Amino acid sequence: MNPLYLLIALTTLMHVAFVGSRLAISLYAIHLQASPATIGMLGALIAIPGVLSSVAVGRWIDSKGPRQPMLLSTIMMTAGCVLAFIWRDLAALFIVSAVVGAAYNMFFVANQQLIGLYGSPKDRVRNISLAAQGFAVGNLTGPLIAGFAIDGFGHPVALLLLAAAPLFPALIVGLDKLKFPAAATVHRRGVGQSGMGSLMELLRMNDLRRVYIMSLIFQASWNLYVFLMPIFGTQIGLSASSIGLVLGSFSMASISVRAFVPLISRRFTSWQLLLISFVMSSLSLIAIPFCESQAPLMALSFWLGMGMGVCGPIAIALVHEASPPERIGEVVGLRITMVSATQATVPLVAGALSATLGMGPMFLVLAASLIIGSYSARRQWNAHKS
């Protein structure tokens, strides 16, 4: 089997286990009469390992190669889900959340490093887009498996079933059946420094720093839209199902457009695509506050999803282009640290600001940030063109 496709299959199974267990943990906590604050803490525990460990995991991969971290992550994911089946108590869910979050983050860092190394640089956008489809499959099937299993067998058994998903990746990686790219199999000892000085070296690289900024603008915008839309929809009188359809149109567009990213990347440069994406997204966000019914919001959400759906694969490809080859794991780890931090902080900041400014101005602020990002993307496009 093509190692790229095998990696995508293994990552999809890990993503199924992660997304499904994340939902199952929340629903299990609700079933155990946990307060909303406790459920929020469980959600934070899933995200925190990404903030704390991504750079260290990236350095580990740069030094030792990806096999050991990937194997350990599959074992941890299975163990975490099994623990929830054995120890049926709210206290156990805190441990399970941390273990599942750490396990998935370790595998995800390895995936983000490897996916850009298979094939030649001209294949990078295509490969990353294919990987994005795998994540989309996981996003769809993980909650379905968890939901139906909980309804049919209960929360502990649902988590036990999800524990089976990482077993195949554990077997393939454990038996060394996944062939790694040559650059990922070299054991590099003593690469760079190991502390803040090493990270500052990366941030002083102009191209890499600009890619990080673009990634943060994109990820913060994505998280903020997903946070704001349910609140805005409720304020204008939409039902829960209508809000779900609006958000569903956003997700469907982002998934669909990624199938065409390899094709359009042949006609436009990465920075051109980022510019187009940011402009499309900002126009949609400017119009959203003036809509008060489901149909136009679905159309604008679909348009927004098309714009933002392009950003993810392009940003990852640009990270690989701007990264020192011997430090790609560390570079990817730093990006994931930043992304995880936005996932934890954006809802808190947005909640405070929306209470002060109102929902409409928040969408306009979000659009303004994307417009500023588009100017930066245009400068980079001109710089690389010359």
Distances (CA, A) of 157 to 15, 18, 21, 169: 19, 15, 11, 21
Q: How much is the pLDDT for 376?
A: 72
Q: Does residue 184 have a pLDDT over 60?
A: no
* Backbone angles phi and psi of 312, in degrees to 5: -55, -60
Give first-to-last CA distance, the chain, whole Å: 41
pLDDT at 291: 87
Is 179's pLDDT higher than 60? Answer: yes
pLDDT at res. 185: 58
- Only one residue has tokens 């490809």, namely 317
And the tokens for 101? 């979050």
Assess whether pLDDT exceeds 60 at residue 190: no
Q: How many whole angstroms separate alpha carbon 50 and alpha carbon 333?
A: 9
What is the torsion angle, in degrees rounded to the nearest 10, for the CA atoms of residue 173, residue 178, residue 182 and residue 184?
Answer: -40
Q: Give per-residue pLDDT as tens, 254-275.
A: 878 878 887 887 788 878 888 8
Q: Is the pTM of this model over 0.85?
A: no
Nearest 10 degrees: CA dihedral of 145, 26, 18, 71? -120
Each residue's pLDDT tens digit, 299-356: 999 999 888 888 878 887 888 777 777 777 778 788 878 877 776 676 667 666 766 7
When pLDDT is cut at 50, 70 and 90, the band that residue 218 belongs to is: confident
Q: Greater confidence, 29 or 200?
A: 29
Domains in the chain: ranges and CATH: 3-173 (1.20.1250.20), 198-385 (1.20.1250.20)
Mean pLDDT of 102-116: 88
DSSP secondary structure, 22-57, as one string: HHHHHHHHHHTT--HHHHHHHHHHHHHHHHHHHHHH
Cβ atoms of 214 and 275 within 8 Å: the answer is no
Residue 189 confidence (pLDDT): 46
Q: Bigger pLDDT: 128 or 76?
A: 76
* pLDDT value of residue 302: 92
pLDDT at 386 exceeding the cut of 60 = no
* Separation of alpha carbons 53 and 220, rounded Å: 20
Stretch 181-198: mean pLDDT: 54
pLDDT for 171 equals 95
DSSP for residue 66: S
Q: What is the pLDDT of residue 13?
A: 95
Q: Quote the CA–CA distance of 250 and 263 in Å, as a whole number.
A: 21
HSE (side-chain half, CA atoms, 13 Å) at 248 = 9
Task: Give me the pLDDT at residue 192, please.
Answer: 46
Q: pLDDT band at residue 160, thresholds of 50, 70 and 90?
A: very high
Selection from 153-167, 178-192, 345-359 with the highest mean pLDDT: 153-167
DSSP code at position 179: P
